[in-house]
Amino acid sequence: MTGHRRDALAADAVEALKSRLRDVLVAIAATANDVRRANCEFFSDAPLRLLFVSPLADGADQIAAAIALELGFELHAILPFERDRYLEDMAEAAGRAEFDALLSRASCVLELPGHTSHLLESYVMAGRATVAHSDLLIAVWDGLPPRGRGGTGEIVRLAHDRATPTIHVPISASQPITLRWSAFEPAVITSAEDTANVRGFSNEELNDVLNALVTPPPGAQERNFIHKFQSECRRKVKARIEYPLLLAATGVSRFRRQHWRADAAFEQSHAEWRSYCDACERVQAVSAPLTSLQNWYEWADSLATHFAQSYRSGHVFNFVLGALAVLLALTTLVLPDAKKYLAVAELIAVLAILFNTWFGTRQQWHRRWLDYRQLAERLRPMRSLKMLALAAPDPPGTSANPVARRWIDWYAIAVWRAMACPSGRLTQDKLKILTETIAEHEITPQIDYHRSTARQVERLDHRLEIFGYSLFALALVGCIALLIGFVVDPAWVKHNSNWFTLLSAGLPAIGTAVFGIRVQGDYVGSAVRSEQTAQVLEQIVDRLEREPANLPRAGDLVEQAARAMHADLDEWRLLNQQHDLSVG
């Protein structure tokens, strides 16, 4: 909710405004119930929660909040200052009394670190926090462009820029209620003043907007992916260990318990989250349902880890057995008496490759790995965004059409919505400690992870390269020896020709398999992307630690950190989705 103060509302317009706001809120509640019933398979059986987020300024904010409570909405109050200071900014006794009454009924109260010397900036801060935790913005607004900082017009423009649809309730009862949303013109990026963004307010238009906001993408395939995710089971053992064995064989990393026990990886992730939550609790600033977010994240992360190892191991398995099949066929030249057994072994190897490929494709190892990893990494930074109160993840879809096209984008936004508003009092002193805590426990570990990943994959690629070149070098030496033999002792060459054939064909076959593993893994590209992401995150940490405590600035920086991590992830997915498990 955002709206003009009481002094901007004519006395004879208040009753009409109350009626219009009631109609809007009744329509929202009814439509939300209809949308939920039509898509009940994707939501829990818990009762529907309707949240009304408001700064509770005297005037339109308080009028709408009182109506929302009557209709069964849950009130979440976001205040620009601590509550006593906020009361001082309300000129009329009636407004102060109404504020106290509404605040006593609020289930969540968030007090931001506004300052009396920067009143307008403080109201902008409250408006930004309101938009960050809202799916819809109701604006009681005269329709004019912003005439300064902190006004309703600026909050409406902020909502447009963050792709939040706005229900515009004009002050004058003679003007119609409208819906404004950038997604109404999905072909181009529009401005807040563009008339292409405006639709007349009706039950049909509202239904379309809420469906686009809260329901999964309409495609049957995306909805099937959601059902698959909802039916996933926790694994105790990781059966596919070929990839970690490759890392161990090349000396890149040791084979550890977490490579074959799923609970070990889960415990590691759980400990990292516990460390973050404990650090934030020590700040004693705001509280948010991070435990629920942790459960969502750990589930997606554990599934992503499982299918990543299965997929990577499936590729290693195919390349290794492909080389083995060639060696078995060539070995018949030097062991003719074992030809029958070698043929059977070769047949088994080929069938194993085909079955591994068929099974991995049928089980969608590749797609599930990419989807679940993207989901987990969209959820992770939400903890810091939520703790900063006014920060928020970017909307799904594109800048021109901010509607989820993938189920993971829809699910991530649904998690953000389910977390609702944080609560508590965020002072300037606590803000500085909180930003340092986020830098230390959220962003710095990501820098360390990207640097460690870059070193590991570079080392793996380098050692595979050396091994592959060595195999080709040995094959070259064998060819040279064969040519010398033809000159020096042709009879000896003829007698050992089968061995020469085995070496000259078998070694390049193994070398080609090694080369295939390198190409599929794109280890050099991964290292470059990780290093670039680490550099961006380092710059953000430097600014968080060096700059004075400023909530909007801290929110901007942490949002940018989330974007940097997502950009790396999106580029990673774009590359890896071309590398499905196959024998081609």
Is residue 200 domain-shared with residue 226, that is, in the same domain?
Answer: no
The domain boundary, picked from 215, 242, 268, lies at 215
Q: From 167, 89, 77, select the one nearest 129 (Cα to Cα).
A: 77
Is residue 275 domain-shared with residue 337, that is, in the same domain?
Answer: yes
Beta pairing partners, 52? 75
78 located within any domain:
yes
Average pLDDT over residues 521-541: 89
Q: Left if phi > 0, otherwise alpha if psi is -120 to 50, otherwise beta: which for 389?
A: left
| Predicted local distance difference test score (pLDDT) of residue 353 | 92
| φ/ψ of residue 79, rounded to 5 | -105, 140
Q: In angstroms, how far is the first alpha carbon of the chain from the final one? A: 56
Please, what is the Cα angle at 84 between 83 and 89, to 5 degrees? 90
| Predicted local distance difference test score (pLDDT) of residue 229 | 95
Average pLDDT over residues 547-570: 90
Dump pLDDT digits (tens) for 266-325. 888 889 999 999 999 898 889 998 999 999 999 999 999 999 999 999 989 998 898 888
> In angstroms, rounded to a whole number, what is the distance separating the alpha carbons of residues 134 and 129?
9
Most confident of 18-27, 83-92, 491-500: 18-27
CATH (domain of 27): 3.40.50.450
User: Does the pLDDT value for residue 400 go beyond 60?
Assistant: yes
Is residue 54 domain-shared with residue 184, that is, in the same domain?
Answer: yes
User: Does the pLDDT value for residue 584 go beyond 60?
Assistant: no
399 located within any domain:
no
| Predicted local distance difference test score (pLDDT) of residue 581 | 67
Is residue 339 domain-shared with residue 368, that is, in the same domain?
Answer: yes
The domain boundary, picked from 180, 199, 215, lies at 215
Is residue 246 domain-shared with residue 305, that is, in the same domain?
Answer: yes
Domain count, the chain: 2
> In angstroms, rounded to a whole number, what is the distance separating the alpha carbons of residues 5 and 7?
6
- 210 or 263, which is more confident? 210
CB neighbour list of residue 479: distance below 8 Å, 6 or more residues apart: 504
- Write out the residue range of the structural domain in which residue 466 sits: 222-389+426-576
| Predicted local distance difference test score (pLDDT) of residue 393 | 95
Beta pairing partners, 424? 110, 286
The domain boundary, picked from 169, 190, 215, lies at 215
Dump pLDDT digits (tens) for 353-389. 999 999 999 999 999 999 999 999 999 999 999 999 9
In the sheet with 166-170, reading across from the earlier edge strand, the strands are 2-3, 137-141, 166-170, 178-180, 198-200
> In angstroms, rounded to a whole number, what is the distance separating the alpha carbons of residues 386 and 461?
39
Is residue 160 domain-shared with residue 303, that is, in the same domain?
Answer: no
- 93 or 520, which is more confident? 93
Instruction: Band the pLDDT of 582: cuts 50, 70, 90.
Output: low
Is residue 111 domain-shared with residue 92, that is, in the same domain?
Answer: yes
Percent of the chain with pLDDT over 70: 97
- 154 or 584, which is more confident? 154
Is residue 238 domain-shared with residue 344, that is, in the same domain?
Answer: yes
pTM (two decimals): 0.90
Percent of the chain with pLDDT over 90: 57
Average pLDDT over residues 555-572: 87
